[in-house]
Amino acid sequence: MLYQRSSALFKEAQEVIPGGVNSPVRAFNAVGGTPIFAKSAKGAYVYDEDGNRFIDYINSWGPMLLGHAFPPVVDAVIEKTKLGTSFGMPTAIETEIAELAVSMVPNIDKIRFVNSGTEACMSAIRLARGFTKKDKIIKFAGCYHGHSDSFLIAAGSGAVTFGTPNSPGVTQGTAKDTLLARYNDLENVKELVEANTNEIAAIIIEPVAGNMGCIPPVDGFLEGLRHLCDAHHILLIFDEVMTGFRLAKGGVQELKGIKADIVCFGKVVGGGLPVGAFAARNEIMNYLAPLGPVYQAGTLSGNPLAMAAGLAMLKAVNADTGLMNRLEEKTKYLHNGIADALNKNGVAHTINSIGSMISVHFAEGAVVDFDSAAKGNNETFKTFFHGMLNAGIYIAPSAFETWFITDALTYEDLNATIAAVEQVAKTL
């Protein structure tokens, strides 16, 4: 494939945008080469500026559960736009999408809309701290909750010590209130809780992790966190920015039957427009301004175009009783096909998948946490990534990302993907 126009555009972009991109992972730093510039997308395909077509497994990093340019979303946005693009006043559609979301997701009474997943998670921990009147939070190594300061934290030296900033600009003062635990390791979380009695406001987790590749929770892990939180008056925050309205209509709470105290959303909830949200039972949400003392606001929060896109999306997800099964079947088909292709060629790998999330780790043995994900062979991944790209298959340009399966994918697309893996596997 030729990427001449993408290369020229990237060169131009780098003059005026840091690294040529508005979000770092787009820059291909982890895999090398020049990022391709998207021009348009429809259904399961994205088209670049050079006219190449790719079967898309990124899907805008998650929102496009039903495919690109999903007609009900496109139509809803066009119609809303004609009425004005922002008012800074309440609108009826905000209540409409809130009512629908509350009806789809278990254990929530109220929801507040924001503009991104980052904002949702940032606001959720502020609310948890205000509500519990405690300062510290526990997060898990390898889980991503957006780029607000409290989450850009690496593990400190000892298992039970506080974290350290993992980006310049994050202060030690902020880092000391974030504790890092190992995903799927309940004992580790217990140690942290016991070493910080009465200090932990919240445990925040991706209940199915997607930001170290796809890593589902092991049996009993989420239940264990729930019990621990109940015993210590800690709020359990499910960051369902990736999984919400995706792994089940009610997200992982519904899928696994575990109750979270606060739930964060993003991606699917906005149907491809900039939307995030956080939600909880009344007792917690009523702590938020203007009802309560915890401040949170946004000029464009609940923006009518974003709400129109989100509402069209949630309505479609809610109405489609076969959707989750179809997505799961497609994912399983891909999982088995890729595993066969890699096994035939003797390529060491582990595939994790659940619902419509899947990732190929080029590591042997179970991948259950950040350390086991990090054992993956990055050189193999780079070759795999570029081989797939040249075969017209667009997967995330990092080994630490999940692939997102969209309902727009046909079995022909899946077969083409598996055939590409078979070819590329010969080069690994």
Residues catalogued as catalytic:
144, 239, 267
Pick from 117, 163, 217, 302 the residue near ligand PLP by CB under 6 A. 117
253 binding ligand PLP? (CB under 6 A): no
Which one of the spans 5-13, 39-47, 172-180, 238-246 is the region binding ligand PLP (CB under 6 A)?
238-246
Q: How far is the CB of 120 from ligand PLP (least distance, A)?
A: 7
Q: How far is the CB of 283 from ligand PLP (least distance, A)?
A: 24
Is residue 74 within 8 Å of 64, Cβ to Cβ? no
With a CB cutoff of 8 Å and minimum separation 6, the contacts of 277 are: 101, 111, 112, 113, 114, 120, 264, 265, 266, 269
Pick from 27, 73, 208, 242 the residue near ligand PLP by CB under 6 A. 242
246 binding ligand PLP? (CB under 6 A): no
Question: In this structure, what token pair is assigned to residue 139?
Answer: 């997060």
Smaller CB separation from ligand PLP, 241 or 399 = 241
Question: In this structure, what token pair is assigned to residue 392?
Answer: 């017209």
Q: How far is the CB of 313 from ligand PLP (least distance, A)?
A: 15
Question: In this structure, what token pair is assigned to residue 77?
Answer: 């946005």
Smaller CB separation from ligand PLP, 3 or 245 = 245
369 binding ligand PLP? (CB under 6 A): no
With a CB cutoff of 8 Å and minimum separation 6, the contacts of 235 are: 128, 131, 132, 201, 202, 203, 229, 261, 262, 284
Q: How far is the CB of 346 from ligand PLP (least distance, A)?
A: 33
Cis peptide before 71 (omega within 30 of 0): no
Q: How far is the CB of 114 from ligand PLP (least distance, A)?
A: 9
Smaller CB separation from ligand PLP, 144 or 221 = 144
Cα 412 to its chain centre, rounded Å, is 27
Give helix 378-390 / helix 411-425 axis angle, nearest 10°: 130
Helices (H) and strands (E) in the chain, counts: 14, 16
251 binding ligand PLP? (CB under 6 A): no
3-class DSSP assignment, residue 399: coil
Pick from 206, 261, 369, 407 the residue near ligand PLP by CB under 6 A. 206
Strands in 79-184 per DSSP E: 110-114, 136-140, 153-154, 164-165, 178-181
What would the x/- binding string for ligand PLP be over residues 140 to 179, using CB under 6 A? ----xxx---------------------------------
Q: How far is the CB of 270 from ligand PLP (least distance, A)?
A: 9
Helix (H) or strand (E) holding 16: helix 4-16
- As a whole number of angstroms, the distance between CA 236 and CA 229 comes to 6
271 binding ligand PLP? (CB under 6 A): no
57 binding ligand PLP? (CB under 6 A): no
Question: In this structure, what token pair is assigned to residue 302?
Answer: 């609940």
64 binding ligand PLP? (CB under 6 A): no
Number of residues that bind ligand PLP (CB under 6 A): 16
Residues that bind ligand PLP (CB under 6 A): 61, 116-118, 121, 144-146, 206, 210-211, 239, 241-242, 266, 276
